[in-house]
Structure 1
Amino acid sequence: MKPRPSIYVEGLEPFIDSELVYKPNTVFSEMESYAKEKNIPIVTAATGGVLSQLVSFISPKTILELGTGLGYSTLWMAIGSKFSKITTVDRHEEQAKALDIYTKKMGLENQIDVTRVTASVLEYLLDENLWLDTDFFFVDCDKITYPTIFRTLWPKAKKGSCFVFDNVLWHGRVLNPDPKKPSDMAVMELWNEVKSQVSEYTLYPVGDGLLFFRK
């Protein structure tokens, strides 16, 4: 059998995000342009679409997002499940305030329940009462914190809660991680933790890779 060629050819992913992904609001494209201009990392449109569909299927009462960025992924989830109560945590107050602006631009300020918290993710997680009852965790913050976040949440999260980690393909560096780069080693450590402790998981190879599993 001939080896199957990779779909990851040059130019395909930008084409997917700009031409093939359904965007429920034109403000998403505005956010993408702003993120590119200011060099602010956000999930891809395809990743946002998958997130939105996941929460629409699961209908979690509560969502905890670790890493707000501009609020791009926050709004994808909010549109996917408007009855979910979302808490999003990020230490960068000025950058995260963009979420408030874009929420109003989308006309969603009275339709969704989103609370923005300015704090270090790891410090926020120290208070278990803030997250023990969470139904859906989305993790997209500093990669070196990924193993600690998993080890903190997984043992104590309630049964049935769902987890999604972004950037688990880490720009392809999972293929040849550099042991001198803490972020490379952290992503690989997360994979080792998940594969050794989680009975079933799903990798969505969109954007930089979404990893989904349930407690």
Structure 2
Amino acid sequence: MKPRPSIYIPELESYIDSSLVYKPNPIFLEMEAYAKEKNIPIVTAATGSVLSHLVSLLSPSQVLELGTGLGYSTLWMAVGSPNSKFLTVDRHEEQASLLDEYAKKMGIWEQIHVKRITASVMEFLADRRDLWVGADLFFVDCDKITYPEIFRILWAEAKPGSSFLFDNMLWHGRVLHPDPKKPSDLAVMSLWDEVKSQVSRYTLYPVGDGLLFFQKDKK
């Protein structure tokens, strides 16, 4: 039997993001251009679309996002579920504040419920448990080195039935051959080990850099 040919061929992902993903607001294009110009990492348009779709189906009351960036993923989710309350955390205030500007340009600032907090993700989780422990959905897209510890904290403290999304779980393909000298490679592989050993069911969406979804069992 011949090996299945991979869809990961040059330029396909760019074509998907530019030509095949439905974007509900043209400001997303502006954000993509700005991120490229300033070399700011954001999720791909395909990932944003999947996030928006999943959140629309889950309809969470409260979403905690760890890693705001410039608000690209936040706004995709907010468009998908405008009645949800979003709390997004990032230590870079100037960059994260662009979220507010883009939401106003989109004309949705008054309709969505987004609160930004400027803080270290790990310090926020330790010091402000009262703000996040009741969340229904957690989206994690911050420093990969912190992924295993974030999982352990959230998995232990989150309420039963909560949903989780972790981005970059293919880690630019390095999950195939992780470099034992790179802490980020080891952290992503460690998170995979944690999920496989503790989560009953999970789904990897192979969009962008790999979006992992799972839920905490209801008691």
Residue-by-residue CA offset, 1:79-115 (whole Å, 9 max, x unaligned): 0000000000000001101101100000011100000
SS of 2:156 mapped into structure 1: coil
Tell me the secondary structure at the aligned position of residue 164 of structure 2. Answer: strand
Q: Which amino acid aligns with 1:145?
A: T
Q: Distance in 2 between matches of 1:145 and 1:92?
A: 17
SS in 2 for 1:155: helix
Corresponding residue number in structure 2 for 1:210: 211
Determine if the alignment matches structure 1 residue 58 to structure 2 residue 47: no
Deviation at 1:139, TM superposition (A): 0.2
Deviation at 1:175?
Answer: 0.3
* Number of the residue aligned with 1:150: 151
Q: Please name the residue that 2:25 is paired with.
A: 25
Give 1:70's aligned residue: 70
Offset of 1:158 from its aligned partner?
0.3
Residues 179-198 of structure 1 mapped to structure 2, 5 A cutoff? 179-198=180-199
- Identity over aligned pairs, percent: 74
Distance 2:79 2:52 in 1: 7
> Which 5+ residue runs of structure 2 have no aligned equivalent?
none
Q: CA RMSD in A?
A: 0.5
Give yes or no for the alignment of 1:113 onto 2:113. yes
Partner of 1:34: 34
* Alpha-carbon distance in structure 2 between the residues aligned to 1:156 and 1:138: 15
C-alpha displacement at 1:26, in angstroms?
0.3
Q: Could you state the TM-score of these two structures normalised by the residue count of structure 1?
A: 0.99
What TM-score does the superposition give when structure 2 sets the normalisation length?
A: 0.97
Q: CA deviation at 1:130?
A: 1.6
- Shift >6 Å, 4+ stretches: none
- How many aligned positions are there? 215
Query: Equivalents in 1 of 2:130, 2:192: separation in Å?
Result: 27
* Cα deviation 1:156-215 (Å, max 9, x = unaligned): 110110000000000000000001100000000000000000010000000000000000
Q: Give the partner amino acid of 2:6.
A: S
Farther off after superposition, 127-136 or 91-100: 127-136
Alpha-carbon offset, residue 63 of structure 1? 0.3
Q: Could you tell me how far 1:131 is from its partner in structure 2?
A: 1.2
